[in-house]
Amino acid sequence: MKVSTAAVDPRLEIPYTELLIQEADQAVEEGRHRDARRELERILIRYPGYAVPHLRLAALAEIDGDTGGAARHKAVAVRLMSE
């Protein structure tokens, strides 16, 4: 059996990314900020044009007192949402 290596339309994978976002949100609720950050950064590696992980990372940075990081992630999210 041959496995297709054709590119998958990213719009078809959004529900999966939403599940990953939910897992990151759960980690934040449980105080596992490092795990949440790691999951969100992993999503961005695969989907660099997806604004939601940047918004979550901005919120996490604010919680952790990293105002510079929060501002950077917000700026990227705003830019991505305006494209």
Residue-level pLDDT at 39: 95
Q: pTM for the complete prediction?
A: 0.79
Q: Is residue 1 part of a domain?
A: no
DSSP tag of 7: P
DSSP tag of 11: G
CATH number assigned to the domain comprising residue 78: 1.25.40.10
Give the residue among 24, 66, 26, 19 at the shortest CA–CA distance from 41.
Answer: 24
CB 18 within 8 A of CB 56: no
Report pLDDT digits (tens) over 9-54.
Answer: 655 556 788 889 999 999 999 999 999 999 999 999 999 999 999 9
Instruction: Provide mean pLDDT across the span 45-68.
Output: 95
Question: By residue range, what is the domain housing residue 44?
Answer: 11-82
Q: How far apart are the first and last CA of the chain?
A: 40
Please tell me the total count of domains within the chain.
1
Instruction: Provide mean pLDDT across the span 67-78.
Output: 97
The rounded radius of gyration (Å) of the Cα atoms in the chain is 14
Residue-level pLDDT at 83: 86
